Homo-oligomer: A and B are copies of this chain.
């Protein structure tokens, strides 16, 4: 791994260089065509694209309940147990994320508040092949269910040999209500607009490739989406008390995900930096996915040596990593310095994979620096809020002149009148005289 020891300003530039984004116009256009075709042709288009892109002839788009049941029953015992422990931890944590409706009753004659309502129907995108992670199904479906979403449906690309039993089994364990075998941009289009077989949803969540991400961006507004997931990253802040063998393993656990993954160590210890670099080389050679991890380590990752703890955090906040390990003495005391990160792993024994599977917090996290403004997927993503208020006549009368001034300043006479007409005696005298209702009032 490259080791940098430069002034902070130089390092900050380096980090920004690493996070540059691009848009691919060709993919944008292809995806737009797919979405329009699905809108026009429905299920037929889904079958056509499944044949074209996945090489699978799909009859029934919905996977039968019997097939899902069978898959669940066939899960190996130790795998089922692991999923159950994960589920229990994820639920325990996410129950603390439930938003409450509130009401302000401080003023006589005024009632105002906000009602929290779960979304009605949510769609989860689950990638196909080796990226069909059962853990992600739990991470997406369980918060939705805790939020009170009535219908959680799932889409996943069709496979020649049928959808993997582990995917179907995890879906059942997570309480998914229906599974459809369709993937790519066409699946996103189906969830956004609905087809004969697939009902349209209020929100689409879950990771996917560039076509899925582009489609999510294009249907945003028609439906809600979670976020545009980019390559994954880990940032580690460590001092000389940390174990370089552990740190190297953690950096590699991120790098094995994707050639575009990033693993960054920032440390105030040169000796730790050197030891980690050596250990990464050694452990990398023994990793089954070393071809992937090697590219990520060599092209996207680095170690930075910085003397002050504050500057270490300044640089890491600029990275805004999806995952952040703090391997400093009394790690939790530094939470105040964490501004931008998806999920933080404190101390020597909270390896990042704890969070991928078991810790409780969600593993669907803001990537590529978007932790600057985005949050982990959570229960709060599956509700919306509705404000409400009720004013008495007396309270309205107090505010009426202020409202009228502002409305007229903004050129909205009708707004002022809708207030003032409430204090117009002629309007109060209105009666429903059926025969004379047309045009009688006010003249």
Binding site for B on A (CB under 8 A): 21, 23, 25, 32, 78-79, 81-83, 85-86, 92-93, 96-97, 102, 104, 106, 111-115, 117, 119-120, 130, 133-135, 166, 202-203, 217-218, 220-224, 227-228, 240, 243-246, 249-250, 252-253, 255-257, 271-272, 274-275, 278-279, 282-283, 287-289, 293, 331-332, 335, 338-362, 365-366, 370-376, 378, 380, 384-393, 395-396, 399, 401-403, 405-407, 409-419, 421-422, 424, 426-428, 430, 432, 434, 437-439, 441-442
Which residue of chain B has the shortest Cβ distance to A80 in the bound complex?
B405
Known: A414-B252, A414-B289. A388 touches B343 (CB 8 A): yes
In angstroms, Cα B414 to Cα A371, docked, is 25
In angstroms, Cα B305 to Cα A256, docked, is 61
| Among B32, B358, B390, contact of A346 (Cβ-Cβ < 8 Å) | B390
Asked if A21 contacts B373 (CB within 8 A), the reply is: no
Q: How far is the CB of A364 from chain B (nearest CB, A)?
A: 11
Known: A371-B384, A421-B245, A438-B278. A357 touches B407 (CB 8 A): yes
Asked if B406 contacts A349 (CB within 8 A), the reply is: no
In angstroms, Cα B79 to Cα A385, docked, is 31
Asked if A430 contacts B245 (CB within 8 A), the reply is: yes
Asked if B278 contacts A405 (CB within 8 A), the reply is: no
Q: How far is the CB of A401 from chain B (nearest CB, A)?
A: 8
Asked if A256 contacts B387 (CB within 8 A), the reply is: no
A-B contact pairs, 22 of them (CB 8 A): A82-B405, A83-B406, A85-B399, A85-B402, A93-B104, A93-B112, A97-B114, A112-B360, A115-B335, A117-B338, A135-B406, A135-B410, A240-B432, A245-B426, A256-B413, A338-B386, A349-B396, A350-B390, A353-B403, A354-B391, A355-B387, A380-B380
| Among B21, B274, B346, contact of A222 (Cβ-Cβ < 8 Å) | B21
Contacting residues, chain B, for A360 (C-beta < 8 A): 104, 112, 389
Contacting residues, chain B, for A356 (C-beta < 8 A): 403, 407, 415
Which residue of chain B has the shortest Cβ distance to A438 in the bound complex?
B278
In angstroms, Cα B244 to Cα A350, docked, is 64
Which residue of chain B has the shortest Cβ distance to A355 in the bound complex?
B389
Residue among A92, A389, A395 facing the most chain B CB atoms (10 A cut-off): A389
Q: A86-B402, A134-B406, A356-B415 are in contact. List 8 more A-B contacts (CB 8 A).
A: A21-B221, A93-B104, A224-B370, A288-B411, A288-B413, A331-B390, A342-B387, A344-B388
Contacting residues, chain B, for A257 (C-beta < 8 A): 412
Asked if A115 contacts B338 (CB within 8 A), the reply is: yes
Asked if B282 contacts A351 (CB within 8 A), the reply is: no
In angstroms, Cα B252 to Cα A252, docked, is 63
In angstroms, Cα B355 to Cα A339, docked, is 34
Contacting residues, chain B, for A434 (C-beta < 8 A): 271
Contacting residues, chain B, for A331 (C-beta < 8 A): 390
In angstroms, Cα B274 to Cα A434, docked, is 9
In angstroms, Cα B83 to Cα A299, docked, is 54
Which residue of chain B has the shortest Cβ distance to A393 in the bound complex?
B349
Which residue of chain B has the shortest Cβ distance to A432 in the bound complex?
B271
Which residue of chain B has the shortest Cβ distance to A281 in the bound complex?
B439
Asked if A403 contacts B373 (CB within 8 A), the reply is: no
Known: A253-B414, A387-B342. A224 touches B373 (CB 8 A): yes
Q: How far is the CB of A221 from chain B (nearest CB, A)?
A: 4
| Among B93, B255, B387, B428, contact of A243 (Cβ-Cβ < 8 Å) | B428
In angstroms, Cα B441 to Cα A279, docked, is 8
Residue among A21, A353, A411, A418 facing the most chain B CB atoms (10 A cut-off): A418
Q: How far is the CB of A55 from chain B (nearest CB, A)?
A: 22
Asked if B406 contacts A82 (CB within 8 A), the reply is: yes
Q: How far is the CB of A378 from chain B (nearest CB, A)?
A: 7
Asked if B376 contacts A387 (CB within 8 A), the reply is: yes
Contacting residues, chain B, for A385 (C-beta < 8 A): 375-376, 378
